[in-house]
Amino acid sequence: MVYDPEKSLATVQQPTEKHGSPEVISVNDAASHETGILASIRALEAKLDKKLGIESDAIERKRAEDKREVHWVEEISMAALWASGTMNTSCFATGFLGWEFGLTMKQSILITIFVSIMAASLSGFCATFGAVTGLRQISVSRYSFGWWPNKLVALLNGIQQMGWAAVACITGGLALTAVSDGHVSLILGIVILAVVALFISCVGLKAILIYERWAWMVFLVIFLIIYGETGEYADNAAPATVTGSSFSGAVLSLMAIVYGSSASWCTMASDYYVHYPANTSRLKVFLMTTFGISIPTSIGMVAGCMVASALNTKPEWSAAYDQGIGYLIQEMLHPRGFAKFLLTLLVLSGINVNVISIYSSAISFQQLARPFARIPRSLWTLFCFACILGLSIGGRQKLNEYLQNFLSLLGYWCTSYAIILFQEHYIFRKGNFDNYDLEGWNDPAKLPLGIGASVAFSLGVVAWCLGMDETWFIGPLAATIGDAGGDVANEFTFVVTALAYLPARYLELKYVGR
């Protein structure tokens, strides 16, 4: 099939049997014949979509004729969306990990900046599929992973996005507790953040893009103030407390954490570009996404690196840090009333991550099975909200351990995901979207079986286990690096997945033909 962006395409397709032959029908058509509470909710969503722009059918392919030209102001969202989602207290807290690993401020900053750019480029590449295909990221990967294996990808992405939201709830809740001088408990703070994000996510993509387009400005100003007020106390004279192979292990482990932070967006990046015209410059999307993620992430993390170094000479800051990241922010900024005001604004940064994560995780769960696709997006949003509350409340007392383990794990499987998409597109489909049967995105018979991707991904899992350095498990390769180990899972996974996918996919095409 030759892809024609002007051609009217069918909506979600499903093979059914009619007189013994396959027939393609629309999920909307199927849903229109349903009765009961789910059908009523879907009908309400559709009415609200027409009147208020509340998105009702998130996973359906956005057809070319349903799109419109995007004003340059809206194109700002390509970068602003990610800036609002990354310039937050979570990234600020992550910046402290280099100091905790025993690295100097300079070393931590260099690792943060360069690894953020490298990892964000994976997300930038994946984002380029959104406008030209009109498909969400998990739908795009069906052309590599196939119908059934891609369900595992959808599940992993849903869990990943909820984990991100949980981290944001914890850091934002700590800030809210601090600004209230302990009158608002951490649990209540977590609930407040999650509820506000739930409301915005329920409205849908239009509200998310408008909110995130401008929210980043507030947080940029706050971080500039943090740089201005704390920069004089930064301590770059203190030497690293780890040496030799232990130093190498600390560097590798920090790289894995920073990498996981920026690379983890690759499994949902195209979700936010499906409304752009198909002829939108892919280079523009790549650059704005890559730097829209890496620069704001670096701003927050470098601020954390700088403040962490000052803990060596500022015991009052160290004592406040032991209470929580919110108390530290309140202690290091002045005057106190102004510090409380800034901390209140920073609480909102947790909402930004939650909005994106709840929305994309709900879309992922809709793709686990066809019956799940008929469950209204609003109900999946509520489900994700409940899971996020459970995760954040359960993990609220161990933030740094949560960050170290969770962010590293994100990078492992995202590496396999991105390299499989890259090789499929540029090697097997010659970098040409004419070689994608976009009308068959929801038809198992028109998609690969996913044998090649399954083999490469499975071998990638083996590579993770051999190279990971986590609190609960240190792989045999990681254990050979220094006293505390060094995380080489991402590097090893990249090599193993890349080498495995080529022959496995070639054999799949040779013997299966799709």
pLDDT of the chain, 514 residues: tens digit per residue: 333 433 333 333 444 433 333 334 444 444 445 556 766 766 766 665 555 555 555 688 888 777 878 877 778 888 998 998 899 888 998 999 999 999 999 999 999 999 999 999 999 999 999 999 999 999 999 999 999 999 999 999 998 888 888 888 888 888 888 888 888 888 898 898 888 888 877 766 677 777 788 889 999 999 999 999 999 999 988 899 999 999 999 999 999 999 988 999 999 999 999 989 999 999 999 999 999 999 999 999 999 999 999 998 999 999 999 988 889 999 999 898 899 999 888 887 778 888 888 888 988 999 998 888 888 878 888 899 999 888 888 877 776 566 667 766 777 899 999 999 999 999 999 999 999 999 999 999 999 999 999 999 999 999 999 999 887 789 999 999 998 899 999 999 999 999 999 999 999 999 998 8
Q: Which two tokens stand for residue 369?
A: 């099975």
How is the chain split among helix, strand and coil, in percent rounded to 5? 75, 5, 25
What 3-state DSSP class applies to 362?
helix
Q: Cα(3)–Cα(262) distance, rounded to whole angstroms? A: 32
DSSP 478-500: HHTSTTT----HHHHHHHHHHHH
CATH H-level, domain 64-398: superfamily: Hydantoin permease (1.10.4160.10)
SS3 16: strand
Q: How far apart are CA 31 and CA 57, in angstroms?
A: 11
pTM of the model: 0.87
Spatial distance between the Cα atoms of 468 and 123, rounded to a whole number of angstroms: 22
> What is the distance between the alpha carbons of residues 14 and 59, in angstroms, rounded to a whole number?
14
Q: What is the DSSP letter of 427?
A: I
Interatomic CA distance for residues 195 and 286, integer angstroms: 32
C-alpha radius of gyration, the chain, whole number:
23
Q: Confirm if 129 and 140 have CB atoms less than 8 A apart.
A: yes
| 26-to-30, 36, 388 alpha-carbon distances in Å | 6, 19, 32
Residue length, the chain?
A: 514
The domain locations on the chain are 64-398
- Find out whether the peptide bond into 335 is cis, omega within 30 degrees of 0: yes
Nearby residues of 377 by Cβ (< 8 Å), 6 or more positions away? 45, 55, 56, 57, 58, 204, 362, 363, 366
6 DSSP assignment: T
Please give the sequence-ordered ranges of beta strands (E in DSSP) within 139-199, or none if there are none.
Answer: none
CA distances in angstroms from 303 to 95, 257, 323, 368, listed in the order given: 7, 16, 19, 39
